[in-house]
Structure 1
Amino acid sequence: MIDAVTIKEVKLQLGELCKQKRQSYDMSQQDLAEALELSRYTVQKFENGKNATLDTVLKIVNHFDLLGNLYQALKDLEKSNDINSLY
């Protein structure tokens, strides 16, 4: 049986990570939105696991200095040659 992760689960996990990082910096959703030139509503939706553009995801990851980690994880996945398409 395949133990698949859903897109919804990933969105929720990314939203939770954003919320935790934002709160650890003692930032409000409005503070983060202003820093990223986004609306507070966009940050709120992201933290609740709602639709977000890739650009929004990357802005948030970059703001919290996690872009390098994300990039390295992608490179490691690419190197592992363990990328199996479901299509």
Structure 2
Amino acid sequence: MFDQNLRIKDVKQEIGQLVRSLRKQEAISQNELAERLDLSRITIQNLEAGKNFTIDTLLKVLQHFDLLHQLNDLFTALSNQSDNPTSLY
């Protein structure tokens, strides 16, 4: 059901790279982003490095960059798929 070659560490690094890219596109520092989200600079630094971060931190960052709705849409679609399984017959 899941790809055993895909590691959580790799996904966290991809998230970190995305956040760094979005922050740089907005031309703000880690400190500025942290202040806007009421987080510490270290929290943003860890997120961008793909180190441990909370789901709340990720959701705040996604909301800031107007991406929270896309994550919600993904989960809604996945939920709808599991509610309506297709028949194999």
Q: Tell me the TM-score normalized by structure 1.
A: 0.87
Matched, 1:19 2:20: yes
Deviations 1:15-69, CA, capped at 9 Å, x for gaps? 1110010000001101100001111111001000000011101000100000000
- Unaligned runs of at least 5 residues, structure 2: 84-89
Shift of 1:3: 3.2
Number of residue pairs aligned between Structure 1 and Structure 2: 81
Q: In structure 2, what is the equivalent of residue 30 of structure 1? A: 31
CA distance in 1, matches of 2:26, 2:35: 14
TM-score between both structures, scaled by the size of structure 2: 0.85
Structure-to-structure mapping, 1:42-57, within 5 angstroms: 42-57=43-58
Gaps of 5+ in 1: 83-87
**Once superposed, which parts of structure 1, at least 4 consecutive aligned residues long, lie more than 6 Å away?**
none
